[in-house]
Structure 1
Amino acid sequence: MLNEFKTFIARGNVMDLAVGVIIGAAFTAIVKSLVSDLINPLIGIFLGRIDLSNLVFSIGSAHFRYGAFLNEVINFLIIAFVVFLMVKAVNRVMPKKKEETAEESPSKEEEYLGQIVELLKKQTK
């Protein structure tokens, strides 16, 4: 069982996932800092407030912190856009799958069958 676990952990997909999670957590911290320290003050200039996270409206005893929600929406949009750009760049750099290239060029069997068909056509003329 221990050997199976070692094999599972050593697979490339698991390691890639672990690296992705760690990088994602670090990137999320950077984006949160970007939003709270740079973008929110810029938006706050136009709204007359410096900190959007303190925007609240109350109905009775319920307090709705829509400023904190706006911060999270901005964080999500930035992270989603950067992930989109990264996936687009990786797709451009990575070579096509073997299956796709195999479909473009005929296999040996198809070449031989094509040659046989050509020979049969010549014989019937």
Structure 2
Amino acid sequence: MKRMTMFGFLGCVLLVSGCATDRYVKDQVDPLANRMNTLEGKVGALENRLASDEAKLAQVQATGMSPADRAALQDAKETANRALELAKKAETEAQAARSDAGKSEAAARDAKQAALEAEKAAKKSEKIFRLNQKK
């Protein structure tokens, strides 16, 4: 009978210790959020830079320039567009990471709730067991 109580207690301890805490999830998610904020800032800066470069390009084209200058300017514009595309791709990946982090946090909450319910069930079982022992 002591064995059964020990096994019940051991089972409760194992169930409760396997849960992720809110703090652990937050510690895992915060670095991702910081990186995403940094990436979003860089994307915004690149968009501003691209808009500025396009405005300069339009101004230079309006004033006239040599074919070599036009080719160099076109190359710069293409490079800026590629950089913007890469930045947008990075932002999309960062948003996906943020979504995954949110799902992990929800799973941790569900696991915590399940552990609480398991602990309640274990306490009820122990109480029933003790009542049966008294009879």
TM-score, normalised on structure 2?
A: 0.29
Higher relative contact order (CA 8 A, sep 6+): 2
- TM-score (normalizing by structure 1): 0.31
Higher strand share: 1
